[in-house]
Structure 1
Amino acid sequence: MAEFQVTASTLKQKAEELSTLNNNFAKKVEELMASEKSLSGMWEGQAKEAFENAFNTDAGKMNQFKAAVDEYYSRLLTIVSQYEQAESKNVSVGTTRTV
């Protein structure tokens, strides 16, 4: 089994990168929604309705994806915080312990 090590600072940095990517994703989704609204005014009928329904379904999934990544980001930060607290406590115990 392969082993790897991750520091709290590296995990926090990667979490911030993930958050930035997720925010960029959200901006692109907003751009898609604006484009869809613009296109929507250019046609009518069943094709328009079918496209709008499909787009709205996809938009909902994109919003769910963003929310899931936001939740993952939040949990990563919680993990980092708990790890740092445990490390601090361990250092404190180690430095104050007498033999």
Structure 2
Amino acid sequence: MKKGMNIVNGLPEFLSEDGEFIQMAIECGVRIHDIRKPPARKDLHCFKGDIRDVGMPVITVLGTDCAVGKRTTAVNLVRRSGNRASAQHSLRRGKQVCSRVRSTVWQWTS
């Protein structure tokens, strides 16, 4: 932060809620982005069934742990589907109709 670098945090602990990190970010004029932090409650919504209107095959890739190959599997499925675009491009184009779940509110409780 002292070098002026913003923080992109992938940890389940939210640095944007830690007083020490907040103060340092303010002093250094940088931002903290917690990528696993869920949206505000007002921005959450329930499944509405819109996926039925996509008009193409739908494949869900799920896993119960990190490092089990979910992203690799998704990239390989797109590459082998005959799609001429790059796998990354194809995955991004699905943003309007897909739901990427990085973590859930209850993921870190037992």
Same fold (TM over 0.5): no
Q: Structure 2 length as normaliser, TM-score?
A: 0.25
| Highest RCO, 1 vs 2 (Cα 8 Å, sep ≥ 6) | 1
